[in-house]
Amino acid sequence: MAHIMAVTAYRNAEFGTDHGAARAAEGSGSCIDDPALLRCLLDQMPTPTALLEGADDCCSFANAAFRALGVVAGSSLTNSFPALSPVLLVEARNSGRPQRNRAASDRAPDGERFWDLRVTPMLGLNGVVRALIVTADETPESVAEHERRLRDVSHRLKNTLQLVSSLLTLQTLSSKDPEVRRALQSAGSRVGTVTQAHQHTHGALRAGTVDLAPHLRELCQELEATLPGAHRIHVAAEATELPVDSIIPFSLIVSELVGNAARHAFPAGSPGTVDVRLGRIGGDTVRLEISDRGTGLPAGLDITRAATLGLKVVRAFVGQLRGTLAADSSPYGTRVIVDFPAA
């Protein structure tokens, strides 16, 4: 409502469009076409409101609500109120249409504040943009508080995962049993994979989806640096958006399958290459392929039924993604295929 009042008042003052209101005010000797009266009205509005006239971002008038935020006439609005993007102003000027955006400002004494920003172009009789009117409605405190709590929970979870990883590392170093050491190293590696996936998940919480391609490249780069032997991992990944809750099971599938290939596909001490591909098939199915040029799977091993812990983990998370698992193997290498729905 405050936004509509500001726009109407400015139009009346600048262009005299509300002739009925003007005639009604004649008897009292005042008129909305009076610029001083316009500024007086805008000054009483609780919503921060500013007028921008001219080709730059210079503020020609800021009401009391905006002045309380440090915005004054004669200053650059985007500098004094950084939550407002210059792009929003450019779009409004170029298109002649209202623009809207939600943004945050961290210059408040109590931390971040979130704003619903509106930029409305005021057109002259010839259709040219004469001025811009900017309003900034602060979103409810509950929304900002929710996002702050979400960041706090995410930060604590990350710290907890890192603590678990450190404890597993200490336990590994203190154990003299090779089997126990290998088991603890595998557990630590899985925790590390979850930690890395969580970081990408937190960054995409607002959007609700995440592009798996850059995450897959980063994950494989980390695996290449930590897996035993001089193994190379080549990644070919198309941009693939998936819900954020898919990233952790996807990451664990990749980690287990790439680790199995690096550890078991090549003769002891021999370097090898693992190829990882990600893309869509048929438009609504995501396909993950992990292949090697090694010695192939052991005779009689069916990865869909194998009892090893790593393949049990893979099958569990493929099921979580509502996908399918298959493998092609020969003495010249193995290709494992995971298909799952894109939605």
**Region at 104 (left for phi over 0; alpha for psi -120 to 50; beta for the rest):** beta
Cα-Cα-Cα-Cα dihedral sign, residues 156, 159, 165, 169:
negative
Buried b / exposed e along 104-123 (16+ C-beta atoms within 10 A)? ebeeeeeeebbbebbbbbbe
Confidence of residue 30 (pLDDT cuts 50, 70, 90): very low
Higher per-residue confidence, 168 vs 2: 168
Confidence of residue 247 (pLDDT cuts 50, 70, 90): confident
What pLDDT, on a 0 to 100 scale, did the predictor assign at position 287? Answer: 94
Alpha-carbon distances, residue 161 vs 187, 190, 204, 205, 243 (angstroms): 12, 11, 19, 19, 22
What pLDDT, on a 0 to 100 scale, did the predictor assign at position 335? Answer: 92
Higher per-residue confidence, 200 vs 342: 342
Name the nearest CA neighbour of 148 among 186, 196, 201, 111: 111
Distance CA 151, CA 106 (A): 15
Confidence of residue 19 (pLDDT cuts 50, 70, 90): very low
Q: How close are the terminal C-alpha atoms of the chain, in Å?
A: 39
Per-residue pLDDT reduced to its tens digit, 267-291: 876 778 899 999 998 878 999 999 9
Distance CA 225, CA 216 (A): 14
Name the nearest CA neighbour of 190 among 212, 210, 161: 161
Q: Are 276 and 254 in contact (CB under 8 A)?
A: yes
Rounded to the nearest 5°, which phi and psi values hold at 195? -60, -45
At residue 165, does pLDDT exceed 80? no
pTM greater than 0.75: no
HSE (CB half, 13 Å, CA atoms) of 267?
3
Distance CA 256, CA 192 (A): 12
Distance CA 200, CA 181 (A): 29
Instruction: Name beta bridge partners: 62.
Output: 50
In a 10 Å sphere around its CB, with 0-12 CB exposed, 13-18 middle and 19+ buried, how is residue 259 labelled? buried
